[in-house]
A = this chain, B = another copy of it.
Amino acid sequence: MTDSDTGQTQRPTPPAAISFARGAPSTDIVDVDGLKQAAVAAFENDPAGVTGYGTAIGYVPLRRWIAEKHGVPEDHVLVTNGSMQADAFLFDEYVRPGTAVITERPTYDRTLLGLRERGGEVHLVTLQEDGIDVDEVEALLAGGLRPALAHVIPNFQNPAGYTLSLAKRERLLALAHEYDFLLFEDDPYVDVRFTGEPLPRMLELDGGADSRQVVYACSFSKTVCPGIRVGYLVGPPAVIDRIRVRATNTYIAPNMVAQGTVYQYVTGDRFPAALERVKTALAERVGVLDESLRRHLPQATFRRPEGGYFLWVSLPEDEGHDVAAIVREATARGVTIVPGTDFLLEGGHNAFRLAYSGVTADVVDEGVRRLAEAVAAARG
């Protein structure tokens, strides 16, 4: 950078703020031109379909595309205004005051909130590096717990970034059958795997179209963009139909313009290359983040994720960290993070979540450097 007055070269000004807080992509990895063309195609190819009301099942061609992707008949699919709206409908259907629900510990803060708002009795089960502790789930069930559903984020979990192993997927499914609870497979990150081999979905392991124990949720927020708010559910037709009625009574129909645009985009020429660009960028950011954490915060432990947006950092328990103080000190240094306590009902004071999806590789190291300063400052 050259100072326009003196002509002398200066050090670059540090970026005003570096957000490791928000699980959202930076705009440089959103294919804005491709989306613009897809919107044009949606209006040109199906003007009545995208401008009319439609129905609560969602935009019919997109629903068909999703059904084909998952190898199920169309009546197993409902397309919604983002997958959180889908979660809300599912929780409205299954969770009453006192309903027992199993979730991972830690888990997505909005999931916990949604379950508790409905009066759900939430049982958080330890999350290990290969996914939820199935022994612990089994012990709860053997001890008499009868959950209506178990919520699991199988790939690149939010907030931990961990992935559920195949063996655990199979055991969890067997337990769902044995104790007849619904397995809610919440899978928004599956298509942004940047290394390693994909694992079969529990929906597939349960027979896909014949599955009776799995409701699967996914989203286009990570593969297309979040502002377009398109997500979906796949599950047994009877469940999907009850949610369809609920959706009809809530909003008549979801957004047809947005869903038509997503349909044109994911069936268009640009999507495969754009998705590769997203994965390459995420992989690069994780690479830098890994190195920077080892350099600036050598006392931290974490597992390098194979996909998704998040990495969970733990500091040594015996050092007595206070993550609220770390958040304050980091914010003062222009870095935002989400404290571990947000993803747990108790504990998490020595942990935080780093989202690398919104931080370009060139500023990751500076962000971690400031964060390490914050950790030191917070210990006084």
Contact = CB atoms under 8 A, between A and B. Distances in A.
A225 interface: yes
11 contacts: A27-B47, A35-B51, A36-B40, A51-B225, A84-B252, A85-B250, A88-B249, A227-B257, A227-B260, A229-B254, A257-B258
Given A24-B53, A36-B40, A229-B251, 11 more contacts: A27-B47, A27-B48, A32-B47, A39-B261, A52-B225, A53-B227, A81-B254, A113-B249, A114-B249, A227-B253, A228-B255
Interface residues of A, number: 47
A152 interface: no
Contacts of A30: 47, 51
Nearest to A31: B51
A22 to B, nearest CB: 8
Contacts of A252: 82, 84, 110
A39 B50 contact: no
A200 B47 CA distance: 35
Contacts of A113: 249
A362 interface: no
Contacts of A258: 255, 257-258
A44 interface: yes
Contacts of A229: 81, 251, 253-257
A73 interface: no
A329 to B, nearest CB: 26
Task: Tell me if A's interface is mostly helix, strand, loop or mixed.
Answer: helix
Interface string A47-83: 1111111100000000000000000000000000110
A54 to B, nearest CB: 6
B40 A27 contact: no
A237 interface: no
A117 interface: yes
A58 to B, nearest CB: 12
A43 interface: yes
Closest 7 CB pairs of A and B: A227-B256, A51-B225, A36-B43, A39-B39, A32-B47, A85-B251, A27-B48
A226 interface: yes
A97 to B, nearest CB: 13
Interface string A77-119: 0000110110010000000000000000000001001100100
